Structure 1
Amino acid sequence: MTSQTPVQWWDDYDADWRLTTARRTVTEFDILSFATLVGMNEALFMDAEYIANDTPFGRRIAPGALVFSYAEGLVIQTGHLHTAAIAFLGAELTMQGPVYLGDTLQVEVTLDSKRATSKPDRGLVTTRNTVRTQSGQPVLEYLATRMLRRRPD
């Protein structure tokens, strides 16, 4: 499945379910705007000289929170959750590497688990979302748990 996937109801998820999102390139404007907006005004994101000379990265990186936000945006943009999603319940995430200015991100989504709830019209789905750069390098992996509607009659 790719971008603009049909709505996926709780019932549609099986062991073989998978989805790949569109891509997004991280710009300097993105990094600086995000860091400023949320108050991450630290040298690691804002000071080019510090980044170049005093970090192991040597060039501007994106905050992990920005990478997660872009990943969720790419997942939502597929359309597969539209009208089916009731709530985002949580995430467990691990950064696996830096995201540099100019990297292009894409998310691979697979089913991790699903279970029914006590209410017959909904269930819980946990997906494993792997964010990769243009080279295929994984940079973030997270388990996202959502409450979804079951397929309407």
Structure 2
Amino acid sequence: MTEPAEQPSKPVNLGLGYTWEELHCGDRFRTLRRTVTETDLVSFISATGMLEAIFIDAGFDGAIAGRAVPGALTVSLIEGMQFQTLIQRTGLAMLEMSMTAHAPVVVGDTISGLIEIVEVKPTSKRNRGIVTSCVEISNQRGEKVMTYKVKRLVAGKAELELQAA
């Protein structure tokens, strides 16, 4: 039988994202893979009002083979994976984003994101930082389908400690 510790150790929080101080230029992260489903498409276009024929008509005779999904859905799925990991409780605001579509994504494609931190700088107050990252989204064949650059306001260590108190 082991003796109990004199003072219980403080538990480590699981699932917290990185503070701006923990991120550095050149850091790279890969999301999990995610297959885009018909339900994803229907839910997204219904919620956003993107009821364009190319998205609502399975028989639409367009330039893209398969059930095309909006680029905004593709970005949203990768952003969601980052919210659950990289910026959980530390991401405070999206300040700017620019994106480029390179190839279509269709229902049944499996996508993943590669995130590279390209700039980290502190703000003038409140222990926060501005973190800029470039994200490359690829499909199951390793083809680049979308890239985007995003600038976020990210919490610092002191701010997280205040949230936990």
Q: CA deviation at 1:5?
A: 6.7
Q: CA deviation at 1:120?
A: 5.3
Amino acid at match of 1:77: Q
How does the TM-score come out when normalised to structure 2?
Answer: 0.81
How does the TM-score come out when normalised to structure 1?
Answer: 0.86
Gaps of 5+ in 2: 1-13
Q: How does 1:64-143 map to 2 (within 5 A)?
A: 64-78=71-85, 80-119=86-125, 121-143=127-149
Partner of 1:12: 22
Q: CA RMSD in A?
A: 1.8
Partner of 1:37: 47
More strand per residue: 1 or 2? Answer: 1
Moved over 6 A (4+): none
Task: State the distance in 1 between where 2:135 and 2:151 align.
Answer: 11
Computing the radius of gyration from Cα coordinates, the structure with the larger value is 2
Equivalent pairs: percent with the same residue? Answer: 34
SS in 1 for 2:92: strand
- Among candidates 47, 53, 65, match of residue 58 of structure 1: 65
Partner of 2:38: 28
**Number of equivalences:** 146
Task: State the distance in 2 between where 1:20 and 1:121 align.
Answer: 27
SS in 2 for 1:112: strand
Contact 1:23 1:74 (8 Å CA) reproduced: no
Gaps of 5+ in 1: none
Q: Structure 1 16/112 Cα, relative in aligned 2: closer, same or farther at 3 Å?
A: closer
